[in-house]
Amino acid sequence: MRTPAPRTPARRARSRVRAAAFASATALLLGLAGVPDAHAYADTHADAGTRHRPATLDSLAERTGRYYGSAVDNPELGDTAYADLLGTEFGSTTPGNGMKWYATEPRRGVFDFTAGDEIVAYAQTHKLKVRGHTLVWHSQLPGWLENGTWTADELRAILKNHITTEVRHYKGKVFAWDVANEIMNEDGTYRENIFYKTLGPGYIADALRWAHAADPGVKLYLNDYNVEGLGAKSDAYYKLIKQLKADGVPIDGFGMQAHLALQYGFPSDMKGNLQRFARLGLDVAITELDIRMILPSDAAELAQQADWYGQVTKACLAVRRCVGITLWGYSDRHSWIPSVFEGQGAALPWDENLRHKPAYDAIAKVLAAAKRGE
């Protein structure tokens, strides 16, 4: 191994000059972009270890004690430019599909972790943390499970084995799991999925206990959409989690997906909603953020979208136990929105050519203006 040259006074002086030059150049660019306190922002990223790298959303979020991440699906790793930007801009990733039941247990008792392992290996190479997603969900189940006729004892054993096997496989490789995903209806009643209909609501506590037993060190979340503001659905989760905590069930966090749409308005009292879950002793996270609009987009819609991205970021920063934000893919190039919501899209902070949109600048400005460790 080559031994580095000693840090002489002359070398230290040259390093300080290079750092100052980097900071000044970065500040100039940020100032032109309208980022407040641009010199302080640039100085932070002229520190040792980041001296020659431009600021990223994750490096800005890290200053506040949070992460900024993006989901990724396996085929997207073959898009070299996309994968390279993912690995440099973000601090965490979530497998979009590779850890779901249909992918990990395609036949009963026969596990295949190929897709999830590929994303974990990519994340390790790029020094990204991984959020596990998801152990229990009503959708994307393998046919053998969804179409089977199960007694309560049979399904309970299947569920326990699936959770235990997958969590053990990824022990030490993921920092959090979305254990149970989308288990409530919009009116706050339980979704009547295969697990609820066969096992009753107790399957949720069981899933959390089994996941904890398989990896006591991983953070365990419930996760859903349309729970960002106050309402029947978020109230139901609040009541459920409060009861789980009272019963001693291991639960560490609540994930708010935040698949938002301009035509439906910004969620009311997002900050207050995040705060009430945090007061239960939970971490909270924005787990699948995108903000779609009716196409074609125009400058006014992109400006409104940017404002919303800024508002989401501010809401998270305002709650100390909001631990991070994850985009559901970072670019319109690979967004799921157009294939699911006809005539809608343009939902992400990068466009199809991997160029920043106003939303990116809005996020960066809010993060840059935040106090260190806020």
Alpha-carbon distances, residue 11 vs 20, 50, 101, 263 (angstroms): 14, 17, 55, 57
pLDDT at residue 16, as a whole number: 40
User: What is the structure's pLDDT at 32?
Assistant: 37
The predicted pLDDT at position 371 comes to 77
User: Which H or E run contains 344?
Assistant: strand 344-345
Structure tokens at 304: 């409104």
Residues classed as catalytic: 182, 288
CA distances from 90 to 25, 123, 166 (A): 22, 10, 25
pLDDT of residue 98: 98
Given CA atoms 151, 153, 156, 161 in this order, what sign does their dihedral have?
Answer: negative
pTM (2 decimals)?
0.86
Rg (CA), the chain: 22
pLDDT at 206: 98
The reported pLDDT for the residue numbered 54 is: 80
Give me the amino acid identity at 187. Answer: D
* Residue burial 322-337, b: 16+ Cβ < 10 Å; e: rest: bbbbbbbbbbbbbbbb
User: What does the pLDDT read at residue 373?
Assistant: 62
pLDDT of residue 37: 42
Neighbours of 218 (CB within 10 A): 22
Residue 136: which of 193, 56, 175, 197 has the closest Cα? 193
| The amino acid at 102 | Y
Predicted local confidence at residue 43, as pLDDT: 40
**From CA 316, how far away is CA 12, in angstroms rounded?**
39
Cα 373 to chain centroid distance, Å, stands at 20
For residue 337, give the 3-state DSSP assignment. Answer: helix
Q: Name residue 91's amino acid.
A: G
How far is the C-alpha of 173 from the C-alpha of 151, rounded, in Å? 34
Per-position pLDDT tens, the chain of length 374? 333 333 333 333 333 433 443 343 344 334 434 444 443 334 434 343 444 468 999 999 999 999 999 999 999 999 999 999 999 999 999 999 999 999 999 999 999 999 999 999 999 999 999 999 999 999 999 999 999 999 999 999 999 999 999 999 999 999 999 999 999 999 999 999 999 999 999 999 999 999 999 999 999 999 999 999 999 999 999 999 999 999 999 999 999 999 999 999 999 899 999 999 999 999 999 999 999 999 999 999 999 999 999 999 999 999 999 999 999 999 999 999 999 999 999 999 999 999 999 999 999 999 999 977 66
